[in-house]
Chains A and B, each alone.
Chain A
Amino acid sequence: RKEVEQDPGPFNVPEGATVAFNCTYSNSASQSFFWYRQDCRKEPKLLMSVYSSGNEDGRFTAQLNRASQYISLLIRDSKLSDSATYLCVVNEGGTGGFKTIFGAGTRLFVKA
């Protein structure tokens, strides 16, 4: 089982649509969680952190369920500029050190 697994995608949606991405992680000792965005031929950049209480930033909402080891990202009112790859990211702690593990990413295409 992969340490961090995401929906394979790609997702093709029209402008204005709501789209949800899912992610699961295998290490129950994982301690912090993020969503990153990666544009084509660019480095990944932080989109938002994910907290147990859930958090929202404009059109983006992130949720964490520690019991199910599940993370989600919801994008409302999709824009053309949202087209990118979305990466689920997990910081693992414990005796193995603080590794940062990336999911393979889910590609989103928003079309006019």
Chain B
Amino acid sequence: NAGVTQTPKFRILKIGQSMTLQCAQDMNHNYMYWYRQDPGMGLKLIYYSVGAGITDKGEVPNGYNVSRSTTEYFPLRLELAAPSQTSVYFCASRGSGVNGNTIYFGEGSWLTVV
């Protein structure tokens, strides 16, 4: 039972490089999210999606892009990496409906920009 799978788990990027964090879920969830968590801080919402073909900005979208061509995949693209993007990135998903829906997280992607 895979749940939410993120890759890579660890990555070091040089300033100005680009990369894509991959996220896949096998629970047929409509809602998917990308969060970042800086050391000792809370989760901040980067982007979210309420279904295939629909994405929207969260609290901290600058420097990132997303796409949602299918229900299963929700990749996060970093263009022109900056040291401020050093963080842990969590992908998450949850089902439709309003009450009592659990959000499931991937194990996180640790990104360092040097």
Contact = CB atoms under 8 A, between A and B. Distances in A.
Interface string A94-108: 000111111111000
Contacts, number: 54
B45 interface: yes
B61 interface: no
Nearest to B56: A97
A102 B103 CA distance: 11
B74 interface: no
A101 B44 CA distance: 8
A91 interface: yes
Interface stretch (B19-27, B35-43, B62-70, B79-87): B35-43
Most buried by B among A49, A102, A103, A104: A102
Interface in B65-114: 90, 92, 94, 98-103, 105-108
A43 interface: yes
A72 to B, nearest CB: 18
Interface residues of A, number: 22
A91 B101 CA distance: 9
A102 B35 contact: yes
A87 interface: yes
Interface of A: 31-32, 34, 42-46, 49, 87, 89, 91, 93, 97-105
Interface of B: 31, 33, 35, 41-43, 45, 48, 50, 56, 58, 90, 92, 94, 98-103, 105-108
